[in-house]
């Protein structure tokens, strides 16, 4: 099929009309690019899953443009949550609530809950206002690193979707924070740019289960990014985690050499700006400065995608502190590695 590319500063009216007639549109948000369809159109949502190769039980997030639209897609919203959402929306903050009868099961992975957010991106908000609430997972083939630029989307989905809106690079580079408000206290399902520390300042206590750290797969996909392998390059990825940076670099070097000597594999190292210079004779991918984890988050998925373009057989990634957005970074890296995690004590 022909895919319409809508360039920066061009009208998105054609994209809104595409949504209304049941088509698929990839569009930018402040986190990553989303692949959107009319959230109330079961056939349109099914097309998202077909195009992405996405498991049917992996729910999408419904994107809205106003609090008025929240009551169209969710029920039993606590008054105190409405007050909190007025403070954090638009933004990378997704809430899981009981779904309304208007939302078809295709949108929610067959569950009686719905994940909802209001994106903080002018193009996304205008697209929703001109059409209606939009169901959208990330605009990539299922399992691959999420797209943070239109180029990533074009590589994955050109000829498979109706339209792609080019909004440049996304700001945060990792998907939104997801919190389940059907439980008390609320439960963090997926870490993101809105950090645990910030969440507790807005809504109080939340539960942070082990699967939110990315150390294991969740049993049930209550929200995107929980149950299945995600964010991964096609080539194998190993993650090295140590409390001490010097020890981590030493462990990563040891692993690279072992892969070369015993398995004949060439490795690239995904490293911080501070440590990339320590890997002499090895292909390195600079992930950004350890002192600026938001920079690391912005570069993360592009770095994982780059691995598949490099003349290497495998990748080794350094770990980062779990402070602030670092929790989201480590969640994504652990999942991308398929839990192939090397500790300094190993």
% of the chain with per-residue pLDDT over 70: 95
Supply the pLDDT for residue 321: 95
Task: State yes or no: 26 annotated in a binding site.
Answer: no
Task: State yes or no: 190 annotated in a binding site.
Answer: yes
Task: State yes or no: 63 annotated in a binding site.
Answer: yes
Task: State yes or no: 58 annotated in a binding site.
Answer: yes
Task: State yes or no: 54 annotated in a binding site.
Answer: yes
Residue 116 β-bridge partners: 62, 95
Supply the pLDDT for residue 297: 98
Domains belonging to the chain, first-starting first, are: 4-213 (3.90.870.10), 237-343 (3.40.50.11030)
List, in order, residues 6 or more apart from 227 with CB less than 8 Å away: 55, 57, 58, 217, 218, 219, 220, 221
Mean pLDDT, all residues of the chain: 94
Segment holding 73, helix H or strand E: helix 67-73
Closest CA to 318 of 255, 284, 270: 270
Segment holding 343, helix H or strand E: strand 341-343
Q: Which two tokens stand for residue 113?
A: 């809950």
Task: State yes or no: 231 annotated in a binding site.
Answer: yes
Alpha carbon distance 190, 42 (integer Å): 25
Task: State yes or no: 31 annotated in a binding site.
Answer: yes
Convert the pLDDT of each residue in 20-69 to its tens digit.
999 999 999 999 999 999 999 999 999 999 999 988 888 999 999 999 99
Q: Which two tokens stand for residue 339?
A: 């839990």
User: Per the omega criterion (within 30 degrees of 0), is the bond before 185 cis?
Assistant: yes
Task: State yes or no: 289 annotated in a binding site.
Answer: no
Supply the pLDDT for residue 325: 97
Cα 301-186-92 angle, rounded to 5 deg? 35
DSSP per-residue string spanning 162-209: SEEE---S-SS-SPPEEEETTSSS-EEEE--SS-HHHHHHHH---B--
Convert the pLDDT of each residue in 174-223 to its tens digit.
999 999 999 999 999 999 999 999 999 999 999 999 989 887 666 655 56
Residue-wise pLDDT tens for the chain (346 aa)? 899 999 998 999 999 999 999 999 999 999 999 999 999 999 999 999 999 998 888 899 999 999 999 999 999 999 999 999 999 999 999 999 999 999 999 999 999 999 999 999 999 999 999 999 999 999 999 889 999 999 999 999 999 999 999 999 999 999 999 999 999 999 999 999 999 999 999 999 999 999 898 876 666 555 665 555 668 899 999 999 998 999 999 999 999 999 999 899 999 999 999 999 999 999 999 999 999 999 999 999 999 999 999 999 999 999 999 999 999 999 999 999 999 999 986 6
Task: State yes or no: 146 annotated in a binding site.
Answer: yes
Supply the pLDDT for residue 105: 96
Supply the pLDDT for residue 346: 64
Task: State yes or no: 136 annotated in a binding site.
Answer: yes
Orientation angle between helical segments 293-309 and 150-157, nearest 10 degrees:
30
- In order of 37, 77, 145, 169, the CA distances from 182 in angstroms are 25, 9, 29, 34
pTM: 0.94
Q: Which two tokens stand for residue 342?
A: 């090397």
């Amino acid at each position: 099929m022909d895919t319409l590319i809508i360039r920066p500063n061009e009208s998105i009216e054609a994209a809104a009309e595409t949504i209304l007639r049941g088509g698929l549109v990839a569009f930018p948000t402040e986190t990553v690019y989303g692949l959107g369809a009319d959230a109330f159109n079961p056939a349109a949502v099914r097309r998202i899953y077909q195009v992405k190769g996405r498991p049917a039980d992996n729910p999408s997030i419904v994107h809205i443009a106003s609090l008025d639209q929240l009551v169209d897609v969710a029920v039993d919203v606590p008054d105190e949550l409405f007050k909190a959402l007025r403070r954090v929306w638009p933004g990378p903050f997704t809430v899981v609530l009981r779904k309304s009868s208007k939302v078809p099961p295709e949108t929610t992975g067959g569950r009686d809950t719905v994940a909802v957010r209001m994106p903080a991106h002018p193009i996304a908000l205008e697209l929703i206002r001109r059409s209606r609430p939009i169901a959208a997972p990330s605009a990539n083939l299922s399992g691959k690193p999420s797209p943070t630029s239109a180029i990533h989307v074009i590589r994955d989905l050109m000829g498979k979707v109706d339209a792609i809106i080019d909004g440049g690079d996304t700001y945060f580079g990792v998907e939104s924070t997801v919190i389940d408000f059907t439980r008390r206290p609320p439960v963090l399902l997926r870490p993101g740019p809105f950090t645990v520390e910030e969440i507790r300042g807005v809504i109080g206590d939340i539960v942070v289960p082990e699967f939110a750290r990315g150390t294991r797969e969740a049993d049930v996909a209550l929200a995107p990014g929980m149950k299945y392998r995600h964010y991964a390059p096609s080539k194998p990825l190993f993650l090295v985690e140590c409390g001490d940076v010097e020890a981590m670099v030493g462990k990563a070097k040891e692993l690279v050499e072992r892969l070369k000597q015993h398995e004949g594999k060439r490795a690239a190292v995904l490293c911080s700006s501070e440590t990339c210079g320590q890997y002499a004779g090895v292909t390195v991918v600079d992930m950004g400065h350890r002192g600026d984890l938001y920079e690391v988050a912005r570069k993360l998925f592009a770095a994982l995608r780059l691995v598949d373009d490099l003349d290497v057989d495998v990748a080794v990634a350094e770990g980062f502190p779990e402070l602030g957005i670092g929790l989201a970074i480590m969640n994504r890296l652990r999942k991308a590695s398929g839990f192939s995690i090397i500790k300094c004590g190993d």
